[in-house]
Every structure is written in C-alpha cells, then in structure tokens.
Amino acid sequence: MKKGFKDGFLWGGATAANQFEGAYNEDGKGLTIADVSPGGKQRMKLLRDDSYPLEIDLEKYTYPNHLGIDFYHRYKEDIALFAEMGFKTFRMSISWARIFPNGDDAQPNEAGLKHYENVIDELLKYNIEPTITISHYETPLNLVKSYGGWKNRELIGLFEKYARTILERYASKVTYWMTFNEINTGVLGSFFTLGMRNESLNNNFQALHNQFVASAKAVKIARELNPNIKMGCMSIYATMYAYDSNPVTVAETMEENRMFNYFCNDVQVRGEYPTYAHSFFTKNNVVLDVQPGDLEVIKENTMDYLSFSYYMSTTHALKTAEKEESEGNFFGGTKNPYLEASEWGWEIDPVGLRIALNDLYGRYGVPLYISENGLGAVDKVEEDGSIHDDYRIDYLRKHISEMEKAVTIDGVDLMAYTAWGCIDLVSASTGEMAKRYGFIYVDLDDEGKGTLERSRKDSFEWYKNVISTNGVAIQK
C-alpha cells in the first residue's frame, strides 16, 4: 500500500459566511439567524429561550457576526495568504440571504451572486478549489419568523430555488459542494440548523426530513448541470465511548451513537431511513409527514463523499451514574479520565479521529472529507508582533498523525482536510473573537476593537510545510 496521503489530497481551511464575512446588511443582503445571535458565552442559552426576541437590540447585546473579520471587503488579501500557505481547497459557505434576502423573494439579488463569483474567481486564480457549503447556520430570518423554520415543507421549494440559482451560476467553476453544515445537530434540536426553538421531537425530525429532501433535490440539480460535480453531506462526528464495560452502558451508547453519528449519514449516503430510526420513531411517537416522491428523491440522489467535523469525542455513562460532565458546543457527556480538554472544555482526542475515520469508511465505503478540525484557544501577541501558538501546532500535528495512520495503515480513502477557522473568525457557539482557531491572526477583540490587520502565527509556516510535503512534515 502507498504510504501517506494520496496525490491531489485537498489540504486547506474552512470558514462560514456568517462567521467571517461581516457586511451583514450590505449590497442587499437580508438578515439571517446568525445576525440576531448575540455575542458572548450566554449565546446558546439565550437562543434556546423562547422569550429571547429574534431581533437586533444594540442597547443590550453585541453582534460580532455583523462585522465578522470583514472578509467581504478583504477577500483578496486573505485569499493571497491562503495561497501563500499552499491551500489546495478553501471551504466557504454562501449566505442564502445575500442571494434571496428574505428567502422567498421572486428574483435573486445580483449583487450577492456577483460577490461570490468574484471570490470564486479569486480562488481559482491561485488554483485553489472552492468547496461550497450551501447552508451553514444561515437560514434567512424571514423563513424562521414567517414560516416557522424547517418544519415547514415550503422551505424545501425555497431551498431548491436558492440551490438551483447558485448551482446554475457556479457549477462550471466549483466541483466540491456540501448541502447542510452539521445537519445532525438537528437531532438535538439546534436552532442554528433548524431555525426552530424548543419544539417537539416530532417537529425536529420533520424539519430534518424536509432538509433530507431539500438536500437530495440540490444533488439532483447539481448532477444535471455538471456530471463531474462532487456532492457531499456534512455532519459533526464525535467518537462515542461507553464509560464502562457494563453491557447496559454499551447498549445505550450504541443507541445514542447511531441516532447522532449515523442517522443523517445513513439517510444521505445510503439513501434510506435505517431500521433503528423507525424503531426510535415508534418508541417516541414521532410520525413524519412523508409526501409521495420524498423517499424516491432521497434514494436516487445519494452523496459522492461524506464530510464531517471532528473536534472531540464524547463518553456515555448510565443516567443513574454520578459522573462529572464535560463540555462541548452541542453536547456534553461524561468527563473522560484519559483526556485533557481545551480552554473551552472540549476534550482533545486525536486517536478518536482515527477511530472515526475507520468507523465511517467501514460503514459507508465512500471517500471521506474532514471539513473541520482545530483548537479554539486564546492567542498572545508578543511585543514584536509574533504569535507562538505551539499548542495549536501540537493539536493539529497529533490529529493529522492519526489521520495518516488511518490512511496508511488502515486504508481509509481520505480526500481532504480543511482546518477550521484557518483565519481567526467569530465562534459559532459563543460568538467570541477570543476563541481563535486560525493560522492567520486578526487584530480584533470581543468589543469589536482592533485594526483588523492580519498577521501570520507560528502555525502558518508549520501548516505551509505540511501542505508542501503532502503531510510528510507533520512532525517538524
């Protein structure tokens, strides 16, 4: 077996429009759910509270997403830095509300379409393949307020129209696409994913069903436009461990694992609802409104590749057990005594990534794309302007080493790795700038103060070496 990453391996970085573009109300863009999400550690709690009005209240809150890091105006400078690192791909999302400001407009906004065309052309100028996420926590606010979010079937048609518009415009230039970011957070009722808060389990799964149909329709359109296009699903994967060897703990972990880590992938890659999901629905009185044609479109338009984000693993103990809880952006779990955690309490587990890759490749047999991975940390700028982020290099090195084992020893077909937040951006779970992932530092703090100037951290040079040697220089 050939050692190391395959030729043409797509090294790069990942972002989302709402977390770094800024320009939240420029050139005809409408509001998205991200634009009414306040900054700060209380963000997720506030958004889960029905009494929190989904409106902008500048007297009470700050909204770091409004400015982002101003990629909207600085994309040329930033893409030049990505090119300097040698990126082969750059994952970005298109903000639906730049194209259809209210989500249900009759005509698309040409200024929005033109903007993304410019960004794509700039990437292609440096031979960087764009990877586009069609929906990354950016549902237009109007679709939440007037339609009730994704539980409403009308969103299928609106998404289809949006997807068709951008695919028609960019399908000849962009090969790699993902439909919904971290779609499986919908299983947990995530507002970011579903545009709904505190609804019944039935509504959450209905919303997911609607997204499966919408996603499959986008895949169909894409293939009709360009048969060489590669369409992928995207979910968050957390390697799941049973806390102890009690068979009851292991059985519970299995049940949790399949509804969280497999369910959405099973539907989108295998093309049908798995048996265990039907049992889950029966047990929880979930009855879905499945219209004629839904299951067929899902079956006929499965994904070319499977992409996932990986930040941490999670450990499951029996509900009766008294164990210390760990933290995560969407889920906690029981503290794993073998793992250290980041400053934000996310348990760091590189070996868990090798397990994830084997698990997913063994189950699906399609190429895998690691679309997010990285360490959120506070960076210190030295007096001379340098930033020594050896902790980030250490995190990435260990994860990429495990990836390399999965490829070389285990034979996993891995096609891409895009480090999350390759340039510092606003955190999704806490709306902070202080939680940085980048190789490129952006001078901006949580109060929106700073010059927005970009500078290279130590990890910049390190990642550049990793890319130029196709992963051989991980240890250096």
Applying CB under 6 A, the residues found at the interface with ligand BG6 are 16, 19, 181-182, 236, 309, 329, 372, 376, 420, 427-430, 435
Give a three-class secondary structure readout of 428-475.
Answer: CCCCCCCCECCCEEECCCCCCCCCCCEEECHHHHHHHHHHHCCCHHHH
Distance, in Å, from the CA atom of 211 to the CA atom of 213, rounded to the nearest integer, reads 5
Distances (CA, A) of 153 to 42, 102, 149: 31, 17, 9
* Non-local CB neighbours of 188 within 8 Å, separated by 6+ positions: 260, 330, 331
- Identify residue 1 by its one-letter amino acid code: M
Beta-strand relationship, 454-456 and 440-442: antiparallel
Rounded CA separation 222/167 (Å): 6
Q: Would you say 379 and 441 are in contact if contact means Cβ atoms under 8 Å apart?
A: yes
Closest separation in Å from C-beta 428 to ligand BG6: 4
How many angstroms from the chain centroid is the CA of residue 318?
29
459, 294, 278, 270: which is closest to 374 by C-alpha?
Answer: 459
Alpha-helical runs (H) found in 171-200: 191-194
Q: Minimum distance from CB of 458 to ligand BG6 (Å)?
A: 21
Q: Which of 21, 372, 402, 404 is catalytic?
A: 372
* Minimum CB distance to ligand BG6, residue 376 (Å): 4
Residue 101, judged by CB atoms within 10 A of its CB (0-12, 13-18, 19+), counts as: buried
Minimum Å distance from CB 106 to ligand BG6?
30
CB of 228 to ligand BG6, least distance (A): 27
Nearer to ligand BG6, 346 or 462 (CB): 346
On whether the CB atoms of residues 399 and 353 are closer than 8 A, the answer is yes
Least distance to ligand BG6 from the beta carbon of 14, Å?
8
Measured from the CB atom, the residue of 149 and 376 that comes closer to ligand BG6 is 376
In whole angstroms, what is the distance from residue 202 CA to residue 67 CA?
36
Residue nearest to ligand BG6 (CB): 429
Closer Cβ to ligand BG6, 237 or 273, answer by number: 237
Q: Which is nearer to ligand BG6, 14 or 158 (CB)?
A: 14
Which residue lies nearer to ligand BG6 by CB, 276 or 331? 331
Closest CB to ligand BG6 among residues 44, 317: 44
Q: Catalytic: 77?
A: no
Beta carbon nearer to ligand BG6, 21 or 294: 21
Q: Are strands 176-180 and 305-309 parallel, antiparallel or unpaired?
A: unpaired
Closest distance between ligand BG6 and the C-beta of residue 421, in Å?
6
Task: Give the strand pairing for 368-372 and 305-309.
Answer: parallel
Catalytic residues, which ones? 372
